[in-house]
Amino acid sequence: MKQKSVAVVGAAETTQMGRIPDVSVLGLHADAALNALADCGLKPSDIDGVATAGESPVQLAQYLGITPTWADGTSVGGCSFMLHVRHAAAAINEGLCKTVLITHGESGRSRVGAGGRFGGGSPSSQNGQFEAPYGVAGPPSMFTIPVLRFMKDVGVSEEELAMVAVVQREWAAKNPRATFKDPITVDDVLNSAMIAYPFRLLMCCLVTDGGGALVLTSAERAKDFPQKPVYILGTGESVETPMVSQMEDFTSSKAFRVSGKKAFDEAGISHADVDHLMIYDAFAHLPLYGLEDLGFCGRGEAAKFIWERNTAPPSEGKKGGKLPLNTNGGGLSYMHSGMYGMYALQESVRQMRGIAPAQVPGARISVSHGVGGMFGASGTVIFTNEA
C-alpha cells in the first residue's frame, strides 16, 4: 500500500461504555457508527464501503441505510478491525469505494441481542475434536495455555507477569472512561482469585459492553474534513491456527511476527520512530509476546522492559517510559467487549489527533497491534499525523 494515501477522518466509541443493558449488539454498532459519522460531518448515505465483524456487513448496511459498492466481513476475532483498515485502504486506493465505515459493537457483559458466548465449534470441527473434550472453557483457559512454556523458556516470573497489569492500571487511572482506575500492586494481582493457573483475575481482561467506529477516505479528500486526518502509514495481517494447541512456537506468535514485519516494512520506519504503541491485551502475557514479536524487545527482554517502567506513564515525579504502551488502560483496565481491536485503534487515533486523556506529548507515529482468536490471527496498523 502507498504510504499515507488513506486517512482516518472519523473515529468514535459508543456514547456509553461498560455496562449498557438497554442497547443491543446491533444498536451498539449503530451508535458508534453515528458518533463516528458525526465526528467527520457525514451522513450514512455518504458511505459507500462497509466493514464489520461479529455482525454481518449486510445487516450493518441495511440497518444504517447504506448502499455500499464494497463490503468486507472479515471475521478473525478481536483484530478483525485492523484487517478491515488494511482492506479498506486497499479498496479506496483501487477505487472500489471512496468512504469506508468500519464498526464494532458487542454486548459482552449484558448479552443484549448477542449470540452464544464464544461460539464453540461443532463437535466434528478440529477444535471440537481435539481441544473441547479436555475442558477448555473460553479464552481464560485457552489463550493462557502457552504461557508456562514462555515463562520457563525465556525466564519470566509470575511477579513480572503481574506487573503488566499494574502498569496498565496506572494508565487507566488517567482515563476518565476506564472501567477500573484504582491503583493495584503486584501483590494485589497475585492475590486475586485464581482463574486458570498461573492466571489470576487481575491478569485477565474485563468483560464489558461497548463499540467503536472509524471512517476512512483518501488522503486527498481527508483534508476537507473537520478533524485532523490520521494517515495510514503501514499495515500487516496474518493468520496462524484456530487451535492454540497447534501454535507453532508457544513462546512466539507467527501471526504477530508476519503481520508486524509487513506493517513496519510498508511504513518504512524503525522501532525507534514509534512514539506510541497499542498491543491487544486480552491477558497479561500478550504485551510480552507483542513487544518481542514486533521487535521492540529481544527474546526474553519484554518482561524486564515493562518491569523497569519503559512502558509506564509518568508518576510521582518520575519520568514516563520511552515507549508508552496501552495508554487507554488496555483490555485489562479500560474495557474489553470481546473484540477489543477497535479500542486499540481508537486510542491510536486519539493519540495521533492529540486528544487522548493520557496524551503522549508530540507523538507522531502510533502502532496498533491486534490479536484474533487464541494467537489465531493478527493485524497491525501504523498511523501517523504527518501528511
Residue from 18, 140, 295, 300 touching another protein (CB under 8 A): that is 140
Count of residues for the chain? 387
Q: How far is the CB of 375 from another protein (least distance, A)?
A: 12
8 Å CB contact between 234 and 265: yes
Question: Residue 249 phi/psi, 5° resolution?
Answer: -135, 115
**Nearest-CA neighbor of 253 among 272, 236, 274, 233?**
236
Residue 155 interacting with another protein (CB under 8 A): no
Q: How many CB atoms lie within 10 A of CB 151?
A: 19
Specify the stretch interacting with another protein by CB under 8 A; choose among 147-155, 170-178, 219-227, 316-324: 147-155
Residue 239 vs 367, nearer CB to another protein: 239
Site for another protein in 308-367 (CB under 8 A): none
Strand order in the sheet with 377-384: 70-72, 49-52, 99-107, 209-218, 6-13, 230-239, 377-384, 365-372, 276-279
As a whole number of Å, the end-to-end CA separation of the chain is 15
Q: How far apart are CA 300 and CA 307, in angstroms?
A: 13
* Cα torsion 190, 193, 199, 205: sign: negative
Query: Which of residues 15, 24, 141, 218 is near another protein by CB under 8 A?
Result: 141
C-beta separation of 98 from 92 below 8 A: yes
Cα separation of 127 and 145, whole Å? 15
With contacts defined by CB under 8 A, name the span among 48-56, 61-69, 118-126, 271-279 that binds another protein. 118-126
**Greatest CA separation for the chain:** 58
144 lies in the binding site for another protein (CB under 8 A): yes
Q: Pick from 136, 172, 230, 269: which binds another protein (CB under 8 A)?
A: 136
Q: Which of 134, 316, 362, 386 binds another protein (CB under 8 A)?
A: 134
Min dist CB 126 to another protein, Å, is 6
DSSP 266: H
- Smallest gap, in angstroms, from Cβ of residue 117 to another protein? 12
**What is the spatial distance between Cα 267 and Cα 227, in angstroms, rounded to a whole number?**
23
Cβ closest to another protein, residue 95 vs residue 123: 123
CA distance 16 to 240: 34
Query: Minimum distance between the CB of residue 120 and another protein, rounded to whole angstroms?
Result: 9
Binding piece for another protein, criterion CB under 8 A, among 94-102, 134-142, 252-260, 312-320: 134-142
Cβ closest to another protein, residue 283 vs residue 383: 283
Site string for another protein, 180-209 (x = CB under 8 A): -------------xxxxxxx----------
Would you say 57 or 146 has its CB closer to another protein?
Answer: 146
**131 binds another protein per the rule CB under 8 A:** yes
Question: Residue 137, interface with another protein (CB under 8 A)?
Answer: yes
Between residues 194 and 355, which has the closer beta carbon with respect to another protein?
A: 194
Identify which of residues 112 and 132 has a Cβ nearer to another protein in the complex: 132
**Which one among 90, 112, 145, 190 touches another protein, defined by CB under 8 A?**
145
Please name which of 228, 328, 319, 320 lies closest in space to residue 278, comparing C-alpha atoms.
328
CB of 282 to another protein, least distance (A): 14
Q: Within 13 Å of residue 379, how many CA atoms lie on the same side as its CB?
A: 23
Number of chain residues interacting with another protein (CB under 8 A): 35
Q: Where are the beta strands (DSSP E) in 48-166?
A: 49-52, 70-72, 99-107
Q: Which amino acid is at 161?
A: L
Q: Which residues bind another protein (CB under 8 A)?
A: 122-124, 126, 128-137, 140-142, 144-149, 152, 193-199, 243, 245-246, 250
